[in-house]
Amino acid sequence: MATVMDDDPSVEFHAFFERHHAELARFARLLTGETEAGDDLAADALLALWHRWDRVRATAHPVAYARGVVAHLARSRLRGTIRERRRVALFWAGRSHHTDGPDVPAVLDLQDALRALPFRKRACVVLRHAFDLSEKDTALALGISVGTVKSQTSKGMAELKRLLGEDRATALTPTRMRTAGAMAEGGPR
């Protein structure tokens, strides 16, 4: 059940904003792998919440609703980015440009590995391990079942192990996941 903090919706929303903006921005940064995009997505999500605040404040879990909005916006942004990259690749495919091969780093860091995961797996791994959310809270935020959260988190962690190597992936802790998010923001906090 939603907790009403004040009769004035603008005061209540302001308090919600102050309490959850940083978390929503960090979530968006981890989903997109881009600091500025994460900040923009959090701002866009909060603006959308403000426009529907009467409905949002009546929900049982306004924060889960907010996370769902961020996840939806991040997914849309990533799809747009993929479409744009395909257009650029098609443009350059007609050009005579020779490379000896891709410049692949010897070791992938956690941010690169997270970006390599499909969106749903990444979202589940980030919410479960970087935000320490329960399976139920993760399911609420993403609008999926608890069973899907379990399978996507398990598959996502298996992919991280493949990308990072067994030793490095096994050493992942919530603190290291949060540090990766802080690094995406421009440095540890």
What b/e sequence results for 108-130 when a residue is b if at least 16 CB atoms lie within 10 Å of its CB, and e otherwise?
Answer: bebeebbbbbebbbbbbbbbbbb
Query: Tell me, what's the pLDDT at 173?
Result: 56
Q: Treating both helix axes as pointing N-terminal to C-terminal, what angle do 135-142 and 62-93 enclose, rounded to 10 degrees?
A: 60
Query: Tell me, what's the pLDDT at 171?
Result: 58
3-state DSSP assignment of residue 88 = helix
CA 188 to chain centre: 18
Asked if 111 and 126 touch (Cβ cutoff 8 Å), the reply is no
Query: Tell me, what's the pLDDT at 180?
Result: 57
Please report the domains of the chain, with CATH numbers, ordered by start residue.
Answer: 8-98 (1.10.1740), 105-183 (1.10.10.10)
101-119 pLDDT, tens digit each: 432 332 336 778 888 899 9
Rounded to two decimals, what is the model's pTM?
0.54
| Helices of type H across the chain | 9-32, 35-51, 53-57, 62-93, 110-116, 119-125, 135-142, 146-164, 166-170, 174-184
133-148 pLDDT, tens digit each: 899 999 988 999 999 9
CA gap 34, 47 in Å, rounded: 20
In the numeric block, the tokens 């440009």 are attached to: 97
30-79 pLDDT, tens digit each: 888 888 888 899 999 999 999 999 898 888 899 999 999 999 898 888 87
Query: Tell me, what's the pLDDT at 9?
Result: 85
